[in-house]
Amino acid sequence: MSVMRLDEIAWRAGGVTVVERVSFEVAAGEFVALMGRNGAGKSTVLDVMAGLRQPSAGAVTLDGRPLASWTPDERARRVGHLPQAVRAELPFTVEQLVLMGRYPHADRWFESDADRRAAEHAMTTCECLMFRDRRISTLSGGERQRVLLAACLAQEPALLLLDEPSTFLDVDQQLQCFSLLRADAESGRACVAVTHDLNLALTFCTRVIVLAGKTVARDMTAADAAARHDWLPLFSSRLQIDTTRDGRPWVSYR
């Protein structure tokens, strides 16, 4: 079932076209990697999907209804967004920040027992429950990223939009993050993640969308992307797909 659809989206700023004619839809249960070189418009498209930017042309629908017709509260209950950068000096504890993900569901400013259980479950899932009483400003970049992801999960949206969710994470935590998101998609949520890591995308995502030339240059299943090479030059002429000893595809460079 389609959760969000983009039809011929464009976004322009100062007379410059950043993206144009961008069309795709995301269904429940999909984990989509949104990829492309720097400046391809990945974050812009994600912001349009989150309702943070109004498209210059085209239409965005959420659950079959124009995104612009949703109130902020309604949208927040359906769409979660992890931006590329968040201020490190936020004056909140970890638990307070994760509970903010529950505000669309809360009765004004009062959290219920269900809200607190959802926040604790999200912190446990993202392996940051041990930081619950620490201030955000005391955390490392990777620890803070796990807390921000926990806040998104506590929100329990139908669509999760993540702009480089593995930023600042060490290798083990990158694998944990993408494993978690794949499992989350398999449970029925729609996930779209901007990433530059081709191998994480091929290993964990179900679909790969590549932006180039201001629009969608490729839209493939991950299995199809692993079996072909024609999309790699969109990133670099030095890339190739090899096969590991256990038969898995692996992007290497020369």
The confidence score (pLDDT) of residue 84 equals: 84
pLDDT band at 112 (very low <50, low <70, confident <90, very high): confident
pLDDT in tens, 179-229: 999 999 999 999 999 999 999 999 999 999 999 999 999 999 999 999 999
DSSP string, 198-219: HHHHHHH-SEEEEEETTEEEEE
Give just the sign of the alpha carbon dihedral 70, 72, 73, 78.
positive
Q: Which domains does the chain have, with CATH numbers?
A: 2-253 (3.40.50.300)
In the numeric block, the tokens 């955390």 are attached to 139
User: Distance (Å, rounded) from C-alpha 90 to C-alpha 220?
Assistant: 39
Q: What is the mean pLDDT of residues 133-137?
A: 94
Q: Are 185 and 191 in contact (CB under 8 A)?
A: yes
- Residue type for position 4: M
The region of weakest confidence among 17-26, 107-116, 138-147 is 107-116
